[in-house]
Structure 1
Amino acid sequence: MRSRALLTLFLLALVALSCAACVGASPTPLAPALRGSIGVPHHGVITDAVELPRQGEGYRLLRSNGVRWGTAGLVAAVQRAAAEVARARPGGEPLLVGDLSARYGGAARGHRSHRTGRDADLLLYALTPDGRPVRSPGFIDFGPDGLARIAGGGAAPMSSASSDADEYVRLDVEREWLLVKSLVRSPDAHVQWLFVARWLEALIIEYARALGEDPELVWVAESVLLQPGDSTAHADHLHLRVACTPDAFLSGCLGGGPYWPWLPAVPQLVPPPDVDLAAAILDDLLPGGAAAGSRVAAPDSAL
């Protein structure tokens, strides 16, 4: 009976951990504790969202479609990073910011995620081929050589036979690294992912290493920079996703990727299960001691 009681309590604890998902990831009178970023980025909502102003120091919005709301941390991180790039390299064009989330989250046109206020599309900084800063021409693909052809709307290598160099822009790797550096170091961001094409990641990381940046900082940046496997390569923008904050875990924020070890510790709502105790409980409950000789793989697997 004691074993059954322990198992029941353990299962109830697991149910409590997933309660946000059980109530449909939406605040209701039955779940008043659900607030802020609720659910996972591709299936959730947001309350108490913060609006990103149309323009600010070092940035401006790409369009006025109302999809410019996010968590306070996300909005602050975008503003801080854009301002730091502008101060470090004055005279350049502002960062163009695409969509965040709708006022109350949920489905946003053209996006699978962007539903919980934790995603933002940041267009890439651009230069003319001879190195003059230019305003980003929009969502155009940059190739492995760092060049993008404006007229064709896609990446194309610049050939010596080309007579119109103005059709091309190249990635401003210096400003792009400054942006990534600011985001991963930001106390507001808690960066979970920076989705971008792997060849653009290579250009950014190679630049950071050549610059002699702190290896640990470069390692963190390299960890969060990722080409997504379930969508486009993201050769035309940087997709910022922030992690749940420790407090947000308590009010319905879920998933979206790994919670990196360098981020603030999350609350331990339920102590890790005792592996031997769990095996003993199973052995006691299953007929004929079916659990005998076997062990739960690990506490993490059990949860």
Structure 2
Amino acid sequence: MSTYMPVSLFALLTTLTLCIALPAHAQNPWEAVKKPSNQLPASIGGYSNGCLSGAEQMPLRGEGFQLVRTGRDRHYGNPYLVEFLKDFSNAVEENNLGRLQIGDMSMARGGPFSSGHRSHQMGLDADIWFSQDKRAAERPLSAWERDNISAIPMADTRKHILLEKNWDARIPGILRIASEDPRVARIFVHPTIKRKMCDIAGSDNEWLRKVRPWWGHNYHFHVRLNCPPGDKNCKPQKKVRGRPCNGGLDWWFSDEFYAILNRPAPTKPVPKKPPKRPEMPAQCAQVLAAPAAVSN
């Protein structure tokens, strides 16, 4: 596999690649590249502004997991993430907690999405459904089912209401397995789900420190890994601080939060010009321009 090319070739190679390989209408070159680069695996930059070289594609199905929403072509990751997901799924199945349905990871070379995510850019993030049709989980899904089967929401996205009729008692056990894995940096869930698990856990809640409340996340949880050991181009997040079930959690149930959440939509037309993206790490130009990896 090739290593990174000289910096002086960045602009030329990127321009040639975009002119030759990408359709003229492509608005986002990262979404147009469908194969991982033939470089060594590396997560470059940050979770919300980075890219991924030498990505590995997650198998459609394995012990304890199967993929969903495969038509979106977002099931690539750093081999470190793929290994974690396989280990995690195995542990979930061995503990009789069901079969995981794995949704969006990253694109073939990471990078920014046109819609759906601000993070997931360097192959260390994955969305996993909380619960699903149990009958479908027991058998391989067809291509149509993978893109059309529905996840089951656990909470109301506009209110702090847990949908008790949908609550799956396996959720705390599944999240605890992930949280106690040293490779995991954070797990994002709907604030109401975090509070529910804090109530269940009582004083045995240290494992909930990594489980963070965040917007949305009512039908899936978002696992984010730490930077792989020795990956010098990966920018880590700060470690989670504070108490597992107090402090920052209270804000999500405050009047200030509700004022933000229920703020009326602006009446003025939104400008069509997209916001300017932050400058990506210099190495990402090489990743985008690199030849595709040869499939085994």
Q: Pick from 250, 254, 260: which aligns with 2:235? A: 254
Q: Given that residues 123 and 138 in structure 1 are in contact (C-alpha distance below 8 angstroms), is that contact kept between their aligned partners in structure 2?
A: no
Provide the C-alpha distance between the structure 2 equivalents of 1:246 and 1:87, rounded to a whole number of angstroms. Answer: 27
Report the alpha carbon displacement of residue 84 of structure 1 after superposing the two structures with TM: 1.5
Once the two structures are superposed, residues 98-150 of structure 1 have per-residue CA deviations (whole angstroms, 9 ceiling, x without a partner) of 100011111234111111001100010258xxxxx565863453238xxx9xx
Query: What secondary structure, in the 3-state scheme, does the structure 2 residue paired with 1:96 have?
Result: strand
Provide the C-alpha distance between the structure 1 equivalents of 2:111 and 2:190, rounded to a whole number of angstroms. Answer: 26
1:52 aligns to 2:58 (yes or no): yes
Provide the C-alpha distance between the structure 1 equivalents of 2:162 and 2:224, rounded to a whole number of angstroms. Answer: 30
Residues 139, 183 of structure 1: alpha-carbon distance in 2 compared, 3 angstrom cutoff: same
Report the alpha carbon displacement of residue 241 of structure 1 after superposing the two structures with TM: 0.7
Query: What secondary structure, in the 3-state scheme, does the structure 1 residue paired with 2:166 have?
Result: strand
| Structure 1, unaligned runs of 5 or more | 1-26, 128-132, 149-153, 159-167, 262-303
1:194 aligns to 2:190 (yes or no): no
Asked which structure has the greater RCO (Cα within 8 Å, sep 6+), the reply is 2
Provide the C-alpha distance between the structure 1 equivalents of 2:227 and 2:162, rounded to a whole number of angstroms. Answer: 40
Q: Given that residues 184 and 191 in structure 1 are in contact (C-alpha distance below 8 angstroms), is that contact kept between their aligned partners in structure 2?
A: yes
Q: Pick from 95, 104, 113: which aligns with 2:100? A: 95
Which protein is bigger by CA-based radius of gyration?
1
CA RMSD of the aligned region, Å?
Answer: 3.5
How do residues 6-85 of structure 1 correspond to structure 2 at under 5 angstroms? 28-30=5-7, 36-64=42-70, 65-85=72-92
- The match for 1:298 is none
Alignment coverage as a number of residue pairs: 197
| Structure 2, unaligned runs of 5 or more | 11-38, 138-148, 242-296
Q: 1:259 is aligned with what amino acid? A: K
Provide the C-alpha distance between the structure 2 equivalents of 1:122 and 1:157, rounded to a whole number of angstroms. Answer: 19
Q: Given that residues 77 and 183 in structure 1 are in contact (C-alpha distance below 8 angstroms), is that contact kept between their aligned partners in structure 2?
A: no
Relative to the length of structure 1, the TM-score reads: 0.56
Report the alpha carbon displacement of residue 258 of structure 1 after superposing the two structures with TM: 1.6
Relative to the length of structure 2, the TM-score reads: 0.57
Query: What secondary structure, in the 3-state scheme, does the structure 2 residue paired with 1:238 have?
Result: strand
Q: Given that residues 140 and 155 in structure 1 are in contact (C-alpha distance below 8 angstroms), is that contact kept between their aligned partners in structure 2?
A: no
- The match for 2:174 is 179
1:244 aligns to 2:221 (yes or no): no
Residues 142, 242 of structure 1: alpha-carbon distance in 2 compared, 3 angstrom cutoff: same
- The match for 2:213 is 227
Q: 2:178 is aligned with what amino acid? A: L
Q: 2:186 is aligned with what amino acid? A: W
Report the alpha carbon displacement of residue 30 of structure 1 after superposing the two structures with TM: 3.1
Residues 156, 186 of structure 1: alpha-carbon distance in 2 compared, 3 angstrom cutoff: closer
